[in-house]
Amino acid sequence: MTPDSPQPAADPVRIGIVSISDRASTGVYEDKGLPALQDWLTSALLNPIEFEARLIPDEQERISATLIELVDAGCSLVLTTGGTGPALRDVTPEATLAVAHKEMPGFGEQMRQISLQFVPTAILSRQVAVIRDQSLIINLPGQPKAIAETLEGLRAQDGRPGVPGIFAAVPYCIDLIGGPYLETRDEVCKAFRPKNAVRPARTA
């Protein structure tokens, strides 16, 4: 390819986003999880995204069935929000682990590390991440602000990166399980890959 040649288009990606809430799913209040996930992913990724959105109650079998449905539909990444605390109705981690082929504990560990910068009750969160087939499934917090913080990470007062967000590791993880090549906007979240796994930078 010459310097003047047009760059190939970024790989399209199908992403499942799932908001888990008894009250939002029955219309008691407006769901804010799905818009927060969609807005952040749209701002962070250069790839064309096809979203598969679901708003469902805190029911373990329903959650597991939804995750399987999204994986089977070709979603390379599935992000859930809600249902990860210690309350009796919080069963998202159990439902996620029930469909897992591999567990990826580092994601949950880092999310709690980020949240601990703000509240000591972060140790009560039970987010997990797993691989099913060629899909990465990650449980995220329930609040839009916390969703962005855990995905994007925290910056120091001078603007430099502070605590890394979990999404920096997502593109390479999806590479390793045979998914599309995710390209991020560095100003939002710079993906990390080993040098031998990096494609030429895109300018758009």
List the chain domain ranges: 13-197
Rounded CA-CA distance 47/150 in Å is 21
Please give the pLDDT value at position 1.
Answer: 47
AA letter at 176: L
Q: Are 107 and 172 in contact (CB under 8 A)?
A: no
Closest by CA to 52, choosing from 9, 19, 16, 10, is 16
Please give the pLDDT value at position 202.
Answer: 58
What kind of architecture, by CATH, is found in domain 13-197? 3-Layer(aba) Sandwich (3.40)
E strand segments, the chain: 13-20, 49-56, 77-81, 102-103, 129-132, 135-140, 153-155, 161-164
Cα 47 to chain center, whole Å?
15
The sign of the dihedral angle between the CA atoms of 83, 123, 70, 65 is negative
pTM exceeds 0.75, yes or no: yes
Please give the pLDDT value at position 201.
Answer: 66
Please give the pLDDT value at position 4.
Answer: 52
Rounded CA-CA distance 180/11 in Å is 6
E strand segments, 110-159: 129-132, 135-140, 153-155
- 176: Cβ–Cβ under 8 A, 6 or more apart, which residues? none
User: What is the mean pLDDT for each group of 10 consecutive residues in the chain (204 residues)?
Assistant: 59 97 88 96 98 97 98 98 95 98 97 93 96 98 93 79 89 98 94 92 56
Please give the pLDDT value at position 94.
Answer: 98
Please give the pLDDT value at position 7.
Answer: 59
Please give the pLDDT value at position 64.
Answer: 98
Please give the pLDDT value at position 91.
Answer: 97
